[in-house]
Amino acid sequence: MVITLIGYRGTGKTSVADPLAGRLGWQWSDADDAIQTRAGKSIREIFAEDGEDVFRSHEREAMKALLNRNDIVIAAGGGAVLNAQTRREIRLAGPVVWLTASVETIVARIGGDLTTSGQRPNLTASGGRQEVEQLLAVREPLYRECADATVETDWRAPEEIAEEIITKLEPRLREGAAG
């Protein structure tokens, strides 16, 4: 079984994946890290040197590889749901959890994470709050389409969020362990 965490950048997917996997006794992987390893460069460099289409191709391949594993929590990239085939595959692989946060929280988390800002480019000319609002308008219906559960992450510790996910997914987890 695979649990895929989806949601916009800054909603806590990577921060939650580790304690969630730990509680389950599973492995976890950050899809963005897998993309960077595959490409041999940062996401910012992929966008600057090769363009978004090449990045999305790397993202697709990374997600395919991760989704073929078992007993893993995947922190998907915020835009992974843009690919229809990836959306189908994450739903088939196991439960999908949409992590949400307010626009204010997302902007604050992105702005406060120097590693992320150094490795990931703005995806629109505007950047900042306007970018978050624009991209959420496009992506929220796709997140909603995929999600088996939704968990709000504002002002919450990753361990607390992981516990809520386990509680919400308990029937699916029991079913997966039995089958």
Angle value at C-alpha 77, between 131 and 134, nearest 5 degrees = 15
Which class does domain 2-167 fall in?
alpha beta
Every domain of the chain and the residues it spans: 2-167
Q: What is the pLDDT of residues 27-57, one digit of tens each?
A: 999 999 999 999 999 998 999 999 999 999 9
What's the pLDDT at 7?
Answer: 98
Helix H segments across 25-127? 31-39, 43-50, 52-67, 84-93, 103-112, 114-119
pTM for the whole thing?
A: 0.91
Report, as an integer, the average pLDDT of 84-88: 97
For 89-125, write each residue's pLDDT tens digit: 999 999 999 999 999 999 988 887 665 545 555 454 4
Section 123-146 average pLDDT: 86
Question: With 60 as the cut, is the pLDDT of residue 179 above it?
Answer: no
CB-count exposure of residue 25 (10 Å: 0-12, 13-18, 19+): exposed
Digit-coded pLDDT (tens) for 60-70: 999 999 999 99
Q: How far is CA 126 from CA 64, 73, 131, 133, 137, in A?
A: 31, 32, 6, 11, 15
Residue pair 145/6 in contact (Cβ under 8 Å)? The answer is no
- How many angstroms separate the CA atoms of 63 and 6, rounded? 12
Dihedrals phi, psi of 140, to nearest 5 degrees: -55, -40
